[in-house]
Every structure is written in C-alpha cells, then in structure tokens.
Amino acid sequence: MNLTILAASGRTGIALVRQALQRGHTVTALARDPGRVNLPDAAGLRLAAADVDDPASVAAVVESGSVVLSGLGTDRAGVLLAGAKAVVAAGPRRIIWLGAYGTGPSAEAAGEGADVLVRALGDRLGDKVAADTTVLAAGGTVFHAGRLVDGPVSPTRRTAALADAPPFDLSATISRETVAAAMLDEAEAPRFAGAVAVPLAG
C-alpha cells in the first residue's frame, strides 16, 4: 500500500514508518524537518517536508489514493485541528488518526479517570476533540490510546470498539509500537471506518 505518515519524526511517527516498511509498504514520511526522521535509508521510503500550518504543503505530497496515518501530537492548542483540516482537504483515500482515550467520544467509556485527563490537557482538550470530529466526519478512523510509553509491540495486543473499551486506568500504559501496529492493522484491513477504536496492550 501507499502510506503517508504525518508527524513522522515523532516517537509514534517513527514507529509507524519503521513498521510500515517492515510490512512491505511504500511510505511517504512527512515532517516539518524531514532530516529528523532518524531511520536508515530504505527502499520504499520517501521523505517530504510539510507543516500542518501550511495546508498547501500537505496537499502537495498527499496522493489521492494514499492512506494517511497521523502520529501528530503537540503541547500547543490549535495544531491538531489544523492538521486534521489539512489532511482532510488533501483528499486521501483513508485517514487513521491518533487521539487520546478519555476525550470526546471516549470520555464516557473511560469513566472517572477521564476527569484527570481533562484537567491535564487544559485548552488542548477542545483542539483534540475538534480534530477527532473532523477526521470522523470524513470517514476516518480515530485511535484513542491510553498513556503512551516506549517499548516493544505487546504480544497480547488487541483493538476494541469503543463500546467494548475498559474504564480508563491511570496506571495502565501502552507502547507506541503497539499503537502503531494497531493503526497499521486498520490500514491493511479496515474495521473501524468512521469510528473510534481503542488499542489495548492485552
């Protein structure tokens, strides 16, 4: 498949690029500074400069037949919605977006633990919810992941529909590699088009 990875220089983005190449896909890795995509040169990998604050730069490299996977994260409100709008406007075949469990559609399923996340996110919460809503309205899939950590892909990983997701456990973590694997599974065999999915370590 032709996959485009947004925010490819971030820790989740790097995991997406690495695993996509291992699975034999052609990857266009987008980053404000492509030189920060710290991976060995590989057949099937193309690096491209793009900034979500410049939608034209995104549209210039997103092909109509591609699947876009986003690992975009930020400490500044407004960036996620700008990214979602830029990707949707570029018109890819599908969008698979990384969000946060306990926000927007998953807040009720997450239970009381979501309140802690809401306080921690502050003004970024509305940005996350708006970005997710934009992607879902375009028929994309939004992965609501728990607290991300470094580590290998979980051998017991699974992806749950929002209706089957567990309450938010503040002590639970999930590796970025596990989340990346779940997002790539969705790219290869769509199950949650237009819906929120929850990646779980086990």
Going by pLDDT thresholds of 50, 70 and 90, the confidence category of residue 108 is confident
User: Which distant-in-sequence residues (6+ apart) come within 8 Å of 120 by Cβ?
Assistant: none
Given this model, what pLDDT does residue 169 score? 81
pLDDT in the model for residue 21: 96
* HSE-CB of 10 using CA atoms within 13 angstroms: 19
Q: Tell whether the torsion through CA atoms of 156, 67, 145 and 175 is positive or negative.
A: positive
The sheet with strand 158-161 has its strands ordered as 45-49, 26-31, 2-6, 67-70, 94-100, 141-145, 196-200, 158-161
pLDDT in tens, 144-197: 999 899 999 999 999 999 999 888 787 889 999 999 999 999 999 999 999 999
For 24-66, what is each residue's pLDDT tens digit?
999 999 999 999 998 887 889 999 999 999 999 999 999 988 9
- Residues of the chain with pLDDT > 90: what percent? 73
CB 2 within 8 A of CB 67: yes
pLDDT of residue 154: 97
Task: Report the pLDDT averaged over residues 124-131.
Answer: 89
User: Would you say 177 and 199 are in contact if contact means Cβ atoms under 8 Å apart?
Assistant: no
pTM here is 0.93
pLDDT at 180: 98
Q: Six-digit token pair at 197?
A: 């999915």
More confident residue, 74 or 135: 135
